[in-house]
Amino acid sequence: MTVDLSQFIPSFLEESFEGLELMESSLLNLEAGDNETIHSIFRAAHSIKGGAGTFGFDVVTEFTHLVETLLDEMRDGRREVSPKDIEILLTSVDCMRILIEAARDEADYDKEKIAQTTAQLSETLANKDTSDNVNTEQVPQNSNNLIDKSGSNNLSIYKIHFVPEHNLAKTGNDPLFLFNALADLGELTIVANTSELPALTDIDPQELYLSWDISLKTSASVEDIHEVFEWVEDECLLEITQTTIQSQAEPEQTPDLEQTQASTTAENKEIIAVQPAITQEPPAVVAEETATNKPKGKAKAKAEVSSIRVGVDKVDNLINLVGELVITQSMLSELGSDFQMDKIERLTNGLEQLLQNTKELQESVMRIRMLPISFAFNRFPRLVHDLANKTGKEIELIIKGEQTELDKTVMEQIGDPLVHLVRNAVDHGIEQAEVRVANGKPEKGTISLDAYHQGGNIVIKISDDGGGINREKVFAKAVEKGIVEPNSTLTDAQVFDLLFEPGFSTADQVTDISGRGVGMDVVKRNIQSLGGRIQVESTVGKGSCFKVNLPLTLAILDGQLVKVGTETYIIPLISIVESLQVDNDLINKVSGDMTLYRLRDENVPILPVYQLFGLKSEFTKIDNALLVVVEADGQKVGLMVDHLLAQQQVVIKSLKDNYQQVIGISGATILGDGSVAMILDIPGMIQIALTYAQHKQQHRSAASHYEIGAPC
């Protein structure tokens, strides 16, 4: 029976990316003498290398071997931790990520970058300044890994008796990993003992029945050999004896295989010769055994299915809730089989219990999708580190609220906008050290990332203690580009909102970080597509703060149901400012057939929903209708509706996936009576309704071309 290894590739990929994140974050905080951190980085690289070898990702294996060697020298104390080596390792982590992503997607990768980094690693390893002054330049590059880690040229022959427990494979360990690691140390000969193999019909494919006698000729120490087996020490019987010492100057002698073989029953032995060079193909016998398990050529690693790691407590809670549902369903079924009016109270109680269980189940399922925002924040220490080096600035990144939970889908889509905001803070916000000192600030600038819950939303703040936004400069640039009139009177919030206009930039020169006027408009558009909004606060000389407000999830929406004619629509609660009955004394007519409502100190345009969607309404006069005042993009409008219904959570169904995108509609949902209700896209409705009114004033005859509800 063969095992299809490809089914485990998604798990390997997920664990590899987690290992790369651990390596990156640990390298950024690595200091000389921090052996524990170096060990954790080494273990992550070692696991990635072993897994890549199992699934046939040879390029990943060979590159990671160089990284592992450099880390090995650091953890053994043979190399001091230097900033230069840390930068090389950070670049190597980037390359490992590139290679693993290429293996996952079955795509090409940047071979030039990989080659450059490989050369840097090789040069670093060849020109190391070790504590014991080993002259590595005299060691040939093609030395078959027979390099004594202590600097000696003597070779030893070790006899290793390895008897794994039967359940070793169930813990994720594979003896082939161990043998390959031993082969890295020298010339290896393995004799497999098959005496404990049961009859074919009794074999459990997940159990191990073999043991091995191994002969290893190497210049490594016995500690190095123990290190190979450190992951399985508690799950095996391991005996290591040193039998022979010879100098490399003497003629090399092959271990006496006949003598080794004669020590056990000949018919129960199988000899496997493992070559030491890691770049060579696996030996024929091993290849035959694993040919059906190992993907040929490029392994099919691409997995479209995304996964979430869920805590056991959340799963247990779901199981308990499902149990409660089963009990409630059983009770209701019993009532329904022979229902009498005297059971009406029990039926009502049962339905209330069903409602409560369903609500709790929904909340529990939603919590499963919630992940700490640290998954999105983890990339920023490295990003700020690289940008600070590139710009010559000293910057400290402070992260708060990283355990604040956010829906996985929202988190995946908010990553790129946050990256652009952080890059902007580094390039535009934080000043050069000499400027900061001249202004009485510390040389090192500070950028803060903070996340917290506020109501039913999550707020993400990106703030810096830099020079702030020059209001006059932004306004002058907007006038220059014709975005606003020179005599316009704008509030600070409106001026700062100009930063999100397409093509807008206040940078004096274009760099590879920013200055092209591309990005901030995309940031705002992406945040709005998630149902969120962004606000800017800034004080010249003190710094700026970009506040992003997002819904916790895109799957469920808190909405207000409204009736217009015979149709029911849903307005997102996050967009609603207030609802009110119209006061005729506060209504004003303006040009362009636009009606305004005086709401305290503001004139709010009134949008009759029945006209925009071509419906027959119960109330066609404004003085009989209700207004739902909504806000988007800093603009308020009053939606004229017939009736306000209930508020409830609704499950969002994508209109684009099931039909096509429709202007003014963000999605749909199914109500309790089975009918379909459309969810209004408030920013889209405001923009198109205003365009509609303006166009109607200029070209009344062409107004029909701008009907809301037309397909995009």
The count of C-alpha atoms lying within 13 angstroms of the C-alpha of 688, restricted to the half-sphere facing its C-beta, is 22
What are the CA-CA distances from residue 400 to residues 442, 450, 463, 579 (Å)? 21, 5, 12, 36
Catalytic residue among 21, 24, 68, 431: 68
Nearest to 266 by CA among 256, 254, 275, 257: 257
Question: Helix, strand, coil proportions of the chain in percent (round to 5)?
Answer: 45, 25, 30
* Catalytic site includes residue 405: no
C-alpha–C-alpha distance, residues 294 and 297, integer Å = 9
What are the CA-CA distances from residue 359 to residues 155, 322, 362, 534, 558 (Å)? 70, 12, 5, 31, 14
Catalytic residue among 21, 46, 193, 431: 46
* Catalytic site includes residue 470: no
| Strand ranges for 42-138 from DSSP E | none
> Which residue matches tokens 């709401």?
599
C-alpha–C-alpha distance, residues 396 and 446, integer Å = 5
Token pair of 669, please? 């949902």
Catalytic residue among 173, 180, 424, 549: 424
Work out the widest C-alpha separation in the chain, in whole angstroms: 109
> Which residue matches tokens 């306000």?
644
| 3-state DSSP assignment of residue 506 | coil
Q: How far, in whole angstroms, is CA 468 from its chain's centroid?
A: 30
Nearest to 420 by CA among 517, 320, 346, 333: 517
Residues forming beta bridges with residue 430, ordered by sequence position: none
* Catalytic site includes residue 46: yes
Residues forming beta bridges with residue 677, ordered by sequence position: 669
Q: Are 558 and 570 in contact (CB under 8 A)?
A: no
Which positions ≥6 away from 390 have C-beta within 8 Å? 513
Q: Any idea which residues carry the catalytic annotation?
A: 46, 68, 424
